[in-house]
Amino acid sequence: MSEQEKMIAGEPYYANRKELTTLRLEAQRLCFRYNQIDPKNHRERKGVIRGLFGKTGGLFCVEQPFYCDYGFNIEIGESFFSNYHLTILDCAPVKIGNNVMLGPSVSIYTAGHPIHHDIRNTGLEYALPVTIGDNVWIGGNVVINPNVTIGNNTVIGSGSVVTKDIPDNVIAVGNPCKVLRAITEEDRKFYFQDRQ
């Protein structure tokens, strides 16, 4: 099994092996190119993202700058929007559904390292997937850790650190991120946050 196959399968792997350093360098070059494109050149920007990501919908916007490890492990659905400074460490698959909005400086991490320093110092790593459902809004400066699923129709409050799965149809906030409350029919009445 190659290091890339181990990485994607969630098995321990060595990220410093040539096959993976070569793939990361190519992704870094594409990210650099993407981040240098004139923001008015939508066609070129979309072309680079389509070449970098494993799968895209037809309608998406990734504001510059954007950074990732490999790109090919990232899938986005229709009507995807990410604000400035999105970082995705996509050593494992990152699957994002339809109608997802990410605030500025969102970070999605699939990479992990052994706890004990002796093992960590060998360069051994692991990666676990992240899945984000449909109709999700993730606020600015949110960190999503490995092996997390965020359910459909959910809102993650700004500055949250998501360490465990979050269910469908809730507002979740905090560090660590926890469910604050369910999203209800009452929420249809409000365009913006209640100001008391």
Cα distance between residue 123 and residue 118, in whole Å: 10
- Please tell me the predicted confidence (pLDDT) of residue 187: 87
The conformational region for residue 99 under phi > 0 = left, psi -120 to 50 = alpha, else beta, is left
Q: Which of 79, 59, 77, 139 is nearest to 107 (CA)?
A: 139
Concerning whether 85 is annotated as a catalytic residue, the answer is no
- The rounded mean pLDDT for the chain is 95
Model's pTM, two decimal places? 0.94
Stretches in the chain below the pLDDT threshold 50 = 196
Query: What pLDDT digit, counting tens, does each position of 148-172 carry?
Result: 999 999 999 999 999 999 999 999 9
- Please tell me the predicted confidence (pLDDT) of residue 148: 98
Query: What pLDDT digit, counting tens, does each position of 70-91 carry?
Result: 999 999 999 999 999 999 999 9
- Please tell me the predicted confidence (pLDDT) of residue 192: 62
Catalytic residue among 85, 113, 116, 117: 113
- Please tell me the predicted confidence (pLDDT) of residue 8: 93
Domains of the chain: 3-188 (2.160.10.10)
